């Protein structure tokens, strides 16, 4: 595990060097977990020489050995104002330029920490840390493969829990129960303040086209207090059911959607589904080092335009302007397959690709799979068929 930690730290150090930053102070659970493989409340201090310090508020009985740190690099703190003296006591100089997680840290905490390092230039390191996390180590890739494998094993049981007349919420509850029994941890981690959902979404009929305030691929009415996903309307004959749950089986989140039907769908739905699969096949081919994110998005858009479905791609009244996104410790890692995204793919990046199309009176069709970027194109993590499964074929 120390070797694995060093690989993660090296990725952060590389970003620090590129940005000429002298030190980085991490406090979010996700980045703490990225460095230490566990979560504590407090601060992780990493300087450009690679010196790593654990400054822990809670648990108060955590020990240096729990973090695999030498005693002198571990400190139980009560407040951030203690940090500079701790550094000086160890013969370290205070950084002239320091990263904080400015896209995640509330302003009040940022102001307080800035005062602690009054002589330093404080910069926002959030984006660079996301970039560091975007290329996965072999172990991280293995964890994502494991999540996908367990995730698809759950989805194979979905037809067994469907009962005619169920509402979307009722079926969602059964799928969530399968997920949890299959080892899903439940927690749906997102980056930023633009997404919040319980475990995932299930959409059928007209609800699939309901616009949402959140930054997900599709919407759904949900509940007024959390307007996303399933509502309480019954799933009807001739409708599709698109299941999109977060696959958090070990802290690393794979993303997997599958489309089901209640009986036969109109022919237009199957045609649109094949267009989605064509887009997925095209993107899988592009998931190689050197590909540019916006090019992939534009290529996908070409396919959907040729099929005459551009006006219902990724939503209808409101359309999401992406077709894939990184995933890992949060469901929305970098990079994003979206317009104007110049990011260049690197081997080991992991992306969820989710071409989805709205069909009036039916719901959404399409699919979603998580892929690892390799020299040979995307490695698809789930083996489950992408075809529409009829829930009444039992």
Q: Which residues bind a second copy (CB under 8 A)?
A: 27-29, 33, 37-42, 57-62, 100, 102-111, 124, 126, 173, 176-177, 180-181, 185-187, 189, 192-194, 196-199, 211-215, 219, 223-227, 248, 250-251, 317-318, 329
* Cβ proximity to a second copy, 103 vs 285, nearer residue: 103
> Distance between CA 340 and CA 361 in Å, rounded?
33
Shortest Cβ 292–a second copy spacing (Å): 25
Least Cβ distance, residue 319 to a second copy (angstroms): 9
Sort strands 350-353 and 369-372 into parallel, antiparallel or unpaired: antiparallel
Residue closer to a second copy by CB (options 128, 389) is 128
**β-bridge partners, 97:** 121
C-beta of 62: minimal distance to a second copy in Å? 8
Nearer to a second copy, 188 or 345 (CB): 188
Instruction: Specify the residue, 98 or 283, whose C-beta has the smaller distance to a second copy.
Output: 98
Task: Give the span between the Cα atoms of 261 and 236, in whole angstroms.
Answer: 9
Output the smallest distance, CB 109 to a second copy, in A: 8
- End-to-end CA gap in the chain: 46
Angle at 188 between CA 335 and CA 221, to 5 degrees: 95
Q: Measured from the CB atom, is 68 or 318 closer to a second copy? A: 318
CB of 100 to a second copy, least distance (A): 7
Q: Which is nearer to a second copy, 169 or 274 (CB)?
A: 169
Residues 6+ apart with CB under 8 A from 122: 98, 99, 100, 110, 113, 114
Counted residue by residue, the chain has a size of: 394
Eight-class DSSP state of 82: G
Of 207, 204, 236, 205, nearest in space to 220 by CA: 207
Question: Rounded to the nearest whole angstrom, what is the least distance from the CB of residue 350 to a second copy in the complex?
Answer: 16
For the chain, the maximum distance between any two Cα atoms, rounded to a whole number of angstroms, is 72
């Amino acid at each position: 595990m120390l070797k694995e930690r060093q690989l993660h730290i090296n990725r952060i150090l590389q970003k620090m060097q590129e940005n000429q930053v002298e030190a980085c102070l991490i406090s979010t659970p996700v980045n703490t977990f990225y460095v230490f493989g566990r979560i504590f409340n407090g601060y992780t201090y990493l300087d450009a020489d690679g010196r790593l310090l654990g400054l822990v508020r809670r648990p108060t009985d955590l020990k240096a050995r729990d973090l695999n740190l030498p005693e002198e690099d571990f400190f139980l703190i009560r407040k951030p104002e203690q940090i500079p003296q701790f550094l000086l006591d160890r013969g370290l100089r205070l950084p002239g330029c320091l990263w904080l997680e400015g896209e995640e840290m509330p302003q009040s905490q940022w102001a307080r920490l800035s005062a602690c390092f009054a002589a330093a230039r404080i910069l926002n390191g959030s984006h660079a840390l996301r970039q560091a996390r975007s290329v996965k180590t072999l172990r991280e890739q293995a964890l994502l493969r494991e999540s996908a494998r367990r995730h698809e094993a759950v989805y194979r049981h979905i037809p067994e829990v469907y009962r005619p007349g169920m509402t979307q919420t009722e079926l969602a509850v059964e799928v969530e129960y399968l997920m949890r029994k299959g080892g899903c941890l439940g927690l749906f981690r997102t980056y930023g303040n633009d997404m919040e959902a319980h475990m995932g979404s299930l959409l059928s009929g007209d609800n699939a086209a309901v616009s949402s305030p959140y930054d997900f691929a599709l919407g759904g009415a949900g509940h007024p207090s959390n307007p996303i996903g399933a509502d309480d309307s019954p799933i009807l004959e001739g409708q599709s059911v698109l299941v999109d749950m977060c696959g958090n089986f070990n802290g690393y989140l794979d993303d997997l959607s599958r489309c089901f039907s209640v009986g036969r769908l109109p022919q237009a739905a199957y045609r649109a589904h094949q267009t989605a699969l064509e887009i997925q096949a095209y993107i899988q081919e592009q998931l190689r080092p050197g590909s540019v994110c916006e090019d992939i998005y534009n290529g996908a858009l070409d396919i959907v335009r040729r099929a005459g479905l551009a006006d219902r791609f990724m939503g209808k009244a409101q359309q999401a302007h992406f077709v894939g996104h990184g995933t890992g410790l949060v469901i929305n890692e970098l990079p994003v397959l979206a317009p104007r995204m110049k990011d260049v793919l690197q081997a080991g990046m992991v992306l969820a690709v989710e071409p989805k199309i709205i069909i009036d009176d039916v719901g959404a069709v399409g699919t979603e799979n998580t892929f690892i970027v390799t020299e040979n194109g995307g490695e698809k993590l789930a083996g489950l068929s992408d075809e529409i499964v009829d829930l009444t074929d039992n």
